[in-house]
Amino acid sequence: MNIQSHTQSAASLRIEKLSPTIGAEISGIDLRHLPSDEMLSQIKTALLEHKVIFFRDQDITPAQHIAFAKCFGDLEIHPLTPKDQEHPEVLHIAHGPDSKGRENAWHSDVTWRPKPSLGSILRAVEVPDVGGDTLFCDMYAAFDGLPDDMKDKVCGLTAFHDYMKNFGRLYPKEKHPEIRARHPSQEHPVVRTHPETGRNGLYVNVGFTDHIKGMEKEESDELLDYLYRRASIPEYQCRFRWKKNSIAFWDNRACQHYAASDYFPQVRKMQRVTIAGDRPFFRE
């Protein structure tokens, strides 16, 4: 890996909030070099506080992208990554004239895993002149803003998350049983306690959550639809306008995101590296 040894001063970091509840842009760092321990501590603190953090003008290689992500834990390999790819940890997300973006729904990454990801680090390789922004929602705020009777209702509930709900369209029907066996539905709490902050947030998303355990379908669908719509409240959101070599690093345990697919047929190419997480839990 072409990772340069370089000492960066934590005092050079500048953090500017994007909204009152979520999002902050960090400057004064060059991600071609690994952060010092002190700088890394400040970045982790900023991630926990702001749920998503952004960096500009980071012209890094895939190897440097991977090295930075490894500072925060083990990395995942997405099942849709080609087997012969040079850096299997990097998920390429590209759209253009022949492929309209499909990430335009509120979701948290890979909640269909038994242990969904801790966070994702996404870098813009090529972006349209305008459009293709990503929105982020604070799921602590989405939970805190619920009426008390709804909080009482959803705390302790469990929901099923299904890989095939979103990705089933990519496989021929005869392959569905095999894919379902490889990625069985997972049960996660509807309200998740963050393992580091101790805060509770909504943990259902329209991309992967299928139904609530023990509920009739009609009641489950109605409740989930209500909870999904909490992410659409502007007061809980920030919006990031991409430029080439911008980076977003979000905490999948605390927020959801939505990639606006308003740029077709322009080209938008991104690279994502994802940090492995742990099994979600709920604690009063």
**Catalytic (active-site) positions:** 107, 109, 257, 272
Question: What is the C-alpha to C-alpha distance for residues 207 and 116, in angstroms, rounded to an integer?
Answer: 14
Q: Which burial class, exposed, middle or buried, applies to 30 when counting CB atoms under 10 A from its CB (0-12, 13-18, 19+)?
A: middle
Q: In what order do the strands lie in the sheet with 158-161?
A: 186-189, 158-161, 209-212
Question: What is the C-alpha to C-alpha distance for residues 19 and 174, in angstroms, rounded to an integer?
Answer: 47
- Residue with token string 């895993």: 113
CB 132 within 8 A of CB 268: yes
Sequence-distant (6+) residues with CB within 8 A of 251 are: 47, 48, 51, 52, 118, 119
Element (H, E) at 126: strand 119-126
Max CA distance (Å), the chain: 58
Between CA 48 and CA 91, with CA 203 as vertex, the angle to 5 degrees is 70
CB 155 within 8 A of CB 191: yes
Three-class SS state of 93: strand
Tokens of 176: 């569905």
The runs of H, that is alpha helices, within 51-193 are 62-70, 139-144, 148-154, 163-167, 176-182
Q: Which of 101, 37, 108, 126 is nearest to 274 (CA)?
A: 108
What is the β-pairing status of strands 52-55 and 24-27? parallel
